[in-house]
Amino acid sequence: MSSTHNVPDSEKTKKPRFIFVVGGVLSGLGKGVVTASIGRLLKSEGYSVTGVKIDPYINIDAGTMRPTEHGEVFVTDDGGEIDQDLGNYERFLGQVVPKRNNITTGQIYLSVIQKERQLKYGGRDVEMIPDIVNEVKERILESANGYDFVLVEVGGTSGDIENMVFLHAVRELGREYPCAYVMVSYLPYLRNVNELKTKPTQHAVCKLREVGISPDFLILRSEIGIDEPRKWIIEKRCFVNKENIIDDPDVKSIYEIPLLFEKQGLGKKLLAKFGLKPRGNLSEWKAFVDKMQNAKKEVRIGIIGKYVSHGNTEHSDVYLSVLESIKHAAAHAGVQAKIEQVQSTILEEKNPKEILSCFDGIIVPGGFGSTGIEGKINAIQYCRENDVPFLGLCLGMQTAVIEYARNAAGMTGAHSTEIDAKTQYPVIGILESQKKNLEDENYGASMRLGAYPAVLKKGSVVHGLYGKENVSERHRHRYEVNPDYIEKLESAGLVFSGTSPDKRLMEFIELPKHKFFAATQAHPEFNSRPLEPHPLFLGFVKACGKK
């Protein structure tokens, strides 16, 4: 369902234009959203755009990272387990981004060391400059092929030891290709003097200049928005023209940011820097944002997760793509989604009805391990028995199968072998291809990953929603419905409404008589776009809005 930008052969030799996005002062400013928003501006102007994210950590990818620390692991069509920022690139650009567009320090060093072992450097010293820097440049250029614009976001902030080689690499690319440097920085608001302070940004720009980069544009995050005196100071001290200082105050929704930038002429100013003319507008995007903001009717949706709270904090980015998918669907269904995350362990201690009756619908998202699993099962039982709309994603489908087996098909104690290896009814078992990976402790990039096709049963609920029989969704899991129990579950009323083309793997389940009860082994949340909401989420949100 996602539209890919297919590069015609004649374009493949085109010299790319780069927009490098770097950070100042602190992390967590939303540099990824800024990068994605710039991408949207240029795409809406009729240019082809792709995005590359550089993460300075040594991990090869985000797949082995704890969600509570690093947030969601985004999965690409081609099976990458990558940084969540790339999810925003896909959503804002409305196109697929391949896994190679997420570069990490680990990947760069691994590749250089492998080349060294293969004598690819002809026996000379292999060094940071030029070899590591060249590797980074090559990787960026590989992703650039054929696009009018390549946005490259360098993780971290100026002055970090970790991103030094990456800044060197983008400085060199900037000498060889047409480019613009954009720095995203922060202006803290001091209440006692009632003003935004510019000094940290001044220092951040100085740090960037130490590696030979002067920003062409400054995008300044703040609580309250920048005023003229502050712009004047920054222009004088950071050597950035006032018209290229872009105000980026806190807003309600990230989807407003392209519009906020457009009002300040950012797209046109960037195009002018490259000698290009504007040739489009953001009207489609604006229509989506208007729909999102104008919807009056509220629907309350609960997400039952294991990674909800951590110490004293609530996580907002562990189920990021699920949250965004609900928002896309809500806008198109003309409702306001009020989303709440519920720690699943609570549903093991308290009566689920007490906690869940305030919701119009429940989503059980993906997850790993045993914590809170019974709470998820209790939530699903509550939905099934009370005709409350339910959508299950990956582990959410596995727990729905377990719940049905236990409470509707007479298999008391049924479970997934991930949680209970000795269960009498292993209705969820390990994928054959995964056994050895676990035995060998081969955990990185070794799950069933990326896009797989599925065939939907004609006349089923999911078939009606997708409006077609053949679909493709992204996966990230090791376990699946155990084929030995399918007949028994079916005769108890559970419908397997989608399978792999060879019918071996169960990809969708549903209960047709229910208001909405559907689940998938896949992660459809990675395919939802603001301008193209995902049919499953749309169906679910619409059902939540029905009395």
Q: Which residues bind ligand GLN (CB under 6 A)?
A: 366-368, 394-395, 398, 418, 476-479
Q: What is the 3-state secondary structure (H, E, C) of 447-485?
A: CEEEEEEEEECCCCHHHHHHCCCEEEEEEEECEEECHHH
Q: Which of residues 134 and 371 has its CB atom nearest to ligand GLN in the complex?
A: 371
State the nearest-atom distance from the C-beta of 75 to ligand GLN, in Å. Answer: 9
State the nearest-atom distance from the C-beta of 512 to ligand GLN, in Å. Answer: 24
Q: Which of residues 20 and 307 has its CB atom nearest to ligand GLN in the complex?
A: 307
Q: Which runs of consecutive H residues, i.e. helices, occur in 394-547?
A: 395-408, 435-439, 461-466, 486-491, 535-545
Q: In terms of Cα–Cα distance, which of 345, 372, 342 is closest to 359?
A: 342
What does the alpha-carbon distance between residue 166 and residue 162 come to, in Å, rounded to a whole number?
8
State the nearest-atom distance from the C-beta of 73 to ligand GLN, in Å. Answer: 9
Q: Which of residues 238 and 428 has its CB atom nearest to ligand GLN in the complex?
A: 428
What does the alpha-carbon distance between residue 459 and residue 383 come to, in Å, rounded to a whole number?
23
Bridge partners (DSSP) of residue 19 are 151, 180
Confirm if 434 and 478 have CB atoms less than 8 A apart: yes
The order of strands in the sheet holding 17-23 is 102-104, 49-55, 149-154, 17-23, 179-186, 217-222, 245-249
User: What amino acid occupies position 380?
Assistant: I
State the nearest-atom distance from the C-beta of 447 to ligand GLN, in Å. Answer: 6
State the nearest-atom distance from the C-beta of 436 to ligand GLN, in Å. Answer: 15
What does the alpha-carbon distance between residue 88 and residue 36 come to, in Å, rounded to a whole number?
6
DSSP structural state of residue 521 = S
State the nearest-atom distance from the C-beta of 363 to ligand GLN, in Å. Answer: 12
Catalytic positions, written as ranges:
394, 523, 525
Q: Which of residues 258 and 367 has its CB atom nearest to ligand GLN in the complex?
A: 367
Q: Which of residues 54 and 86 has its CB atom nearest to ligand GLN in the complex?
A: 86
Q: Which of residues 463 and 476 has its CB atom nearest to ligand GLN in the complex?
A: 476
Rounded to the nearest 5 degrees, what angle is found at the Cα of 269, between the Cα atoms of 23 and 267?
75
What does the alpha-carbon distance between residue 384 and residue 513 come to, in Å, rounded to a whole number?
10
CB atoms within 10 A of CB 237: 14
